Amino acid sequence: MELTAVPRKISTNWFIKNRWLVLIFIIIIGSIAYAYAVNGRVTTAVLASTLRQSTPLVLGALCGLICERSGVINIGIEGQMLMGAFLAFMANVYLGNLWVALAIGILAGALMGLLLAFMSVTLKMDQIIGGTVINILAIGLTGYFYISGLTTQGKFQPFALGPLAEIPLIGPVFFKNPPITYMAIVIVFVLHYVLFYTRWGLRTRAVGEHPSAADTVGINVYKMRYINVTIGGMLAGLAGAFLTLEGVGTFERGMTNGRGFLALAIMIFGKWTPLGAWGAAFLFGFTYAIQTQLQFMGVNLPPQFIGSLPYILTILVLAGFVGRSRPPAAEGKPYEKEGG
Amino acid sequence: MKRIALLLTGLLLLALMAACGGQKPAAEKKCGDEGVICIGLVTDVGKIDDKSFNQSSWEGTQQAAKEVGALEVKYVETTDAKDYAANIKQFTDQGYNIIVTIGFGMGEATAEAAAANPKVHFIGVDQFQGEAIPNVAGLVFHEDQAGYLAGVLAASMSQSGVVASVLGTNLVPPVVAFNEGYLNGARSVNPNIKIIDTYHPGGLDVAFTDPEWGATTAQQAIDQGADVIFGAGGNTGNGALIQAAGNEGVWCIGVDTDQWETVPEAHPCLISSAVKLIPPGIVDLVKMSKDGKFPSGNYFGAAGLAPFHDHESAIPQEVKDLLEKTKAGLLDGSISTGYNPG
Amino acid sequence: MATDTTSNETVNRTARYLRKAWQGISVPLVAVLLGLIIGALLLLVSGAQPLSAYGALFEGAFGTPAAIQRTLEKATPLIFAGLAVAFAFKAGLFNIGAQGQLLIGAVVAAYVGFSIQGLPAIIHAPLALLIGGLAGALYGFIPGALKTYTGAHEVITTIMLNYVAINITDYLADGPWKDMTPGNIVARTPKIFPSAVLPSLGNIPTGFILALLAAVVAWWILYRTTLGYEIRTVGLNSSAAQYAGIRVAKIVILSMMISGFLAGMGGAVETQGINGRFQPGFNTGIGFDGITIALLGKTNPFGVIPAALLLGAMRAGSSKMQFSAGVAPEITDVITAVILFFVAADIIVKTLIRQRGTDDDKVTLSTGWSGH
């Protein structure tokens, strides 16, 4: 399934093959509709929160995905996010322009991606070490150089997408958001298209699955990996910028709080596909929003029980429905050009 | 081999320099001498500039040092809770005579250090003293009273009849005290008020440093009609305040210090903060230490509401009167906050 | 590791050993040096005095017997966590869950320590250690079994189980196992009985000795037993192992359990040797430290020890550094990252010191990701 480059036709066969997926999808839509009928306001609030919580996670997962599809493991997502968040914040403080700050956040991510590419492709370092270096480095640098007491000019505010925002439930959830949230949704689909329906995507996957074969047909393995890992870094930088420019509006040490590692889990959960990652991130965001909602409703349980919900649910879903997932075959192995 | 020799020489030199670098030139007076005051501070797990109790304790300590003419005033940040004792020792070893330790978690380490150093005065911020130790003063606050006032203010200002609180973890007693007071204060104004309170579901290490969680949670509450948000949980709470500031017609209330100073991004919504005045408390205790009147047991610092700042005119006079009345009632004991840590 | 037995000249052999030893330590040494130099540059940029900072760091880590004790205390849980991660790596498993396993071990050991009274120390302390370790093993069993029977990737499940473990232990410390001493409002368990406390032998914590023993045992299992051979075979190529008749499922579960046992025991040692009870907020981030250390030690149980000592020394010395030189402890993270970089990018270092490249000690662990 992974290597087909031509557009796949969705036939009835597809539905049968993915009957669990379809069933779950129907159940989800059904329950959302029911919940909306019972209490529209709460449903909207929970779903809006779901989308918001899923945004940095899906961006992080896409970062990991595009790196791994080209054969480079990236466990440095957390660090790349943190650097993106920090530099975007600093730019926002000193330049006062959110869009420039956004660009700088992405650039910071790109540089961290480039560093990972340098370590894993050029130096042929173990990729897990490369990612770990990035994580520790980011915690150290941002922690050391952050100065408290800096104020920004504000953060991205939501804007409505015209009449689309008027649709009940879907409108306020999907079409009344700040810019990075829109970007994340667009990127999911663009990446899905690029990865599975373009030459570039085919090459990327070829490099990740069978680099020596790709090499023989004239694909530059090193170049492909460099570019993909750098793009991945940009996505992580964007996720970081989301935190400082759109989510919170300011920076705190260690504010990524493990989101980069959750993103890693989400990437695997989504079986290394953009749409899968989106679904997994949504599931996650949803369990977070529900966990808050349970507290809102005054459910008399220790917060620690409610707090475990997203993680236990993830394990159950993973164990029960998703099961085995297969990573790109050449992942983690530095490519050595034969004879040279 | 040359290179290796060179390298080893370099290493050796570095080690030598390192060994020398640690030694300070002898000063005329130093900590531990008669009549010299040196004040040290050990943070709770977190940074000195946390915009929360570590920061305000440090501000108070610096101010106190200035007022009593201390020779040295220094801090050490704790990165892991198990370093409390070692970090305190850092100061006792150097002859510091007043040591400020922060957070309930350090209570035990403080008591142990106090027993080992009977001549040193310890100020334990947020450390409730079950049994008085002669050289330890627990600087504690009636957080529930400050929270109660915040609750009264919140319920009075709410148009929708829904108010919320976004909190750090319930593992930290002062946070629970703030919230319990807030709940009961709000109910005292409007018994039918809907209050949505949420604790961060993560562990101690993330509960106070997750502003994005605070922001999302605040928004989720606002989307359900909450129009006053009480953000009480370090940077997590700050995220909630900033989020509230982006919503029209929503007020927010900060915590610990006057957050008008620490979170300027929240100015549009910040009507007040439920404060516990750590700096004056530390200054008082340090002065008492200097004058030989250091108290032991619990020393209650002032807690209450911060000024309204720019929103002075937005608060109706009757609300201000009610707050005054409540404050008086809390002081003379005629009003109970209903918080009982048991 | 192969020894040339054909040569009988001891002198030659000693020389070869020395050269080998030098080859082994030269890269890490140079990496540490480079880490310190780059850290010094950063300190200069931020207006601090590198020499006095490093001096204080060194003094805080090794300056006095008490400082050395603290370094060893700091290194102890790091060794256990590093061993846990390294052991799983050998089986091709990426155990990000050392944190959770350690927490569970710590809280269970505390329970054994405070709930059972009247046992002699010679039984009580080892019992708490063992049960703490077993609790960690049980917690490691979950991702192992999930992987074997449902295919759920251990990277996801161990990350998730870390969060769950934090919640479980917080709940226990604030609920059923809470310290009910009058006046206590803090979430923590009661103090363990003195019979469960691990004493210090002079300035050497017993826990540290246990950590060294654990490293020896881990090495012995990996390189001197059939089980270890099977584990390493599975780690290198699980399908080949399957063809060779190794029961991969059993090995995966067992490796995760041993890994969990090591982490859990680390937690128990913390409870019994350092904290005297369980209290939330201790040892946060130890799982990721474990990864760093396993990598620094090239996933070799004996490599883990110096790596943990290095990190432990920096952690122990950093408060002195802040006290004397006013330098924030985060700088040690930057130094750690640079050291890790140069240890892994040994190609750079070897060019620098003109050492012939030997490929046999090249670090490769990433099979751990896509194996099975």
Whether residue B220 and residue A296 make contact (CB cut-off 8 A), yes or no, is yes
- Whether pLDDT at B17 is above 70: no
pLDDT of residue C272: 96
Q: How does strand B98-102 pair with strand B121-125?
A: parallel
- pLDDT, tens digit (0-9, with 9 covering 90-100), for A75-115: 999 999 999 999 999 999 999 899 999 999 999 999 999 99
The nearest CA of chain A is from the CA of B43 a distance in Å of 16
Nearest CA in chain A to B205: A257
Whether residue C323 and residue B4 make contact (CB cut-off 8 A), yes or no, is no
Whether residue A255 and residue B210 make contact (CB cut-off 8 A), yes or no, is yes
Give the whole-number percent of chain C exceeding pLDDT 70: 92
The nearest CA of chain A is from the CA of B164 a distance in Å of 9
The answer as to whether B263 is a domain residue is: yes
- pLDDT, tens digit (0-9, with 9 covering 90-100), for A253-275: 889 988 999 999 899 889 899 99
Q: Which stretch of DSSP H or E encloses residue B241?
A: helix B234-245
Give the pLDDT band of residue B23 (cuts 50, 70, 90): very low
- Whether pLDDT at B28 is above 80: no
Select from B149, B160, B146 the least CA-distant residue to B196. Answer: B160
Higher pLDDT residue, A230 or B105? A230
Give the position of tokens 């106090």.
B114
Q: Which phi and psi (to 5°) does residue B191 adopt?
A: -60, -25
Chain A residues within an 8 Å CB radius of B201? 291, 295, 303-304, 306-308
Nearest CA in chain A to B162: A296
Spatial contact of C368 and C93, defined as CB atoms under 8 Å apart: yes
Whether residue A305 and residue C167 make contact (CB cut-off 8 A), yes or no, is yes
Q: What is the value of pTM for the model shown?
A: 0.89
- Whether pLDDT at B21 is above 50: no
Residue B67 sits in the same domain as residue B186: no
Dist. CA B99–CA B39, nearest whole Å: 6
Higher pLDDT residue, C357 or A30? A30
A143 touches chain C (CB under 8 A): yes
Higher pLDDT residue, C21 or A246? A246
Q: Among B15-29, B317-331, C345-359, which is the least confidently predicted range?
A: B15-29
Dist. CA A80–CA A135, nearest whole Å: 7
Instruction: Provide CB contacts within 8 A for B184, sequence distance 6+.
Output: B148, B151, B337, B338, B339
Mean pLDDT within B194-223: 91
Q: What angle do CA A148, A152, A157 make, to 5 degrees?
A: 135
Spatial contact of B268 and B259, defined as CB atoms under 8 Å apart: no
pLDDT of residue A92: 94
Please name the CATH architecture into which domain A54-322 falls.
Orthogonal Bundle (1.10)
- Whether pLDDT at C323 is above 70: yes
Dist. CA B33–CA C332, nearest whole Å: 33
pLDDT of residue B5: 53
The nearest CA of chain B is from the CA of A267 a distance in Å of 21
Give the position of tokens 């330098």.
C327
State whether the Cα torsion A145-A149-A152-A156 is positive or negative: positive
Select from B32, B9, B219, B80 the least CA-distant residue to C318. Answer: B80
Residue B104 sits in the same domain as residue B200: no
Q: Helix (H, G, I), strand (E, B), or coil: what is residue B180?
A: helix
**Mutant choice from B79, B223, B267 vs A, greatest count of A C-beta within 10 A:** B223
pLDDT of residue B10: 58
Tokens of C35: 């880490």
Higher pLDDT residue, A280 or C370? A280
pLDDT of residue C190: 95
Mean pLDDT within C245-265: 96
Select from A310, A289, B169, B198 the least CA-distant residue to C170. Answer: B169
Dist. CA A67–CA A236, nearest whole Å: 11
Q: Among A101-105, B19-23, C156-160, which is the least confidently predicted range?
A: B19-23
Mean pLDDT of chain C: 89
Range of the domain at B45: 31-141+280-288+293-301
The answer as to whether B245 is a domain residue is: yes
Domain with B220 in it: what CATH number? 3.40.50.2300
pLDDT of residue A11: 63
Mean pLDDT within B252-267: 92
pLDDT of residue A299: 82
Spatial contact of C272 and C196, defined as CB atoms under 8 Å apart: yes
DSSP B310: G
- pLDDT, tens digit (0-9, with 9 covering 90-100), for B152-205: 999 999 999 999 999 998 888 899 999 999 999 999 999 999 999 999 988 887
pLDDT of residue A314: 86
- Whether pLDDT at B45 is above 80: yes
CB pairs under 8 A between A and B: 107
Whether residue A49 and residue B196 make contact (CB cut-off 8 A), yes or no, is no
pLDDT of residue B293: 92
Residue numbers of C between 268 and 297 with CB closer than 8 Å to A: 288, 291-292, 295
A157 touches chain B (CB under 8 A): yes
The 3-state secondary structure of chain C reads CCCCCCCCCHHHHHHHHHHHHHHHHHHHHHHHHHHHHHHHHHHHHCCCCHHHHHHHHHHHHHCCHHHHHHHHHHHHHHHHHHHHHHHHHHCCCCCCCHHHHHHHHHHHHHHHHHHCCCCCHHHHHHHHHHHHHHHHHHHHHHHHHHHHHHCCCHHHHHHHHHHHHHHHHHHHHHCCCCCCCCCCCCCCCCCCCHHHCCCEECCEEHHHHHHHHHHHHHHHHHHHCHHHHHHHHHHHCHHHHHHCCCCHHHHHHHHHHHHHHHHHHHHHHHHHHHHCCCCCCCCCCHHHHHHHHHHHCCCCHHHHHHHHHHHHHHHHHHHHHHHHHCCCCCHHHHHHHHHHHHHHCHHHHHHHCCCCCCCCCCCCCCHHHHCC
Mean pLDDT within C190-208: 93
Spatial contact of C347 and A126, defined as CB atoms under 8 Å apart: no
* A274-297 burial: b if 16+ Cβ within 10 Å, else e: bebbbbbbbbbbbbbbbbbbbbbe
- Whether pLDDT at B318 is above 60: yes
**Residue among B213, B223, B238 minimizing CB distance to A48:** B223
Residue B177 sits in the same domain as residue B246: yes
Tokens of A256: 């990524």
In the CATH scheme, what is the code of domain C26-370? 1.10.3470
Residue B107 sits in the same domain as residue B210: no
Orientation of helix A40-69 relative to helix A179-197, angle to 10°: 40
Give the pLDDT band of residue C1 (cuts 50, 70, 90): very low
The nearest CA of chain C is from the CA of A1 a distance in Å of 18
pLDDT of residue C350: 77
Whether residue C175 and residue A302 make contact (CB cut-off 8 A), yes or no, is yes
Q: How many domains does chain B have?
A: 2
pLDDT of residue B6: 56
Q: Among A58-62, A135-139, C42-46, which is the least confidently predicted range?
A: C42-46
Mean pLDDT of chain A: 88
State whether the Cα torsion B70-B71-B76-B82 is positive or negative: negative
Residue B191 sits in the same domain as residue B312: yes
Give the pLDDT band of residue B8 (cuts 50, 70, 90): low
Q: Among B21-35, B327-341, C215-229, which is the least confidently predicted range?
A: B21-35
**Residue among C153, C292, C368 minimizing CB distance to A268:** C153
Mean pLDDT within B273-285: 94
- pLDDT, tens digit (0-9, with 9 covering 90-100), for B101-130: 999 889 889 999 999 999 999 999 999 888
- pLDDT, tens digit (0-9, with 9 covering 90-100), for A186-219: 999 999 999 999 999 999 999 999 999 999 999 9
Mean pLDDT within C291-300: 92
pLDDT of residue B247: 92
The answer as to whether B52 is a domain residue is: yes
Higher pLDDT residue, A152 or B264? B264
Mean pLDDT within B284-304: 93
Mean pLDDT of chain B: 89
- Whether pLDDT at A1 is above 50: no
The nearest CA of chain C is from the CA of A272 a distance in Å of 12
DSSP A7: P
- Whether pLDDT at B19 is above 60: no
Give the pLDDT band of residue B250 (cuts 50, 70, 90): very high
**Residue among A134, A137, A318 minimizing CB distance to C156:** A318
pLDDT of residue B50: 81
Residue B109 sits in the same domain as residue B58: yes
Residue B182 sits in the same domain as residue B242: yes
Q: Helix (H, G, I), strand (E, B), or coil: what is residue B219?
A: helix
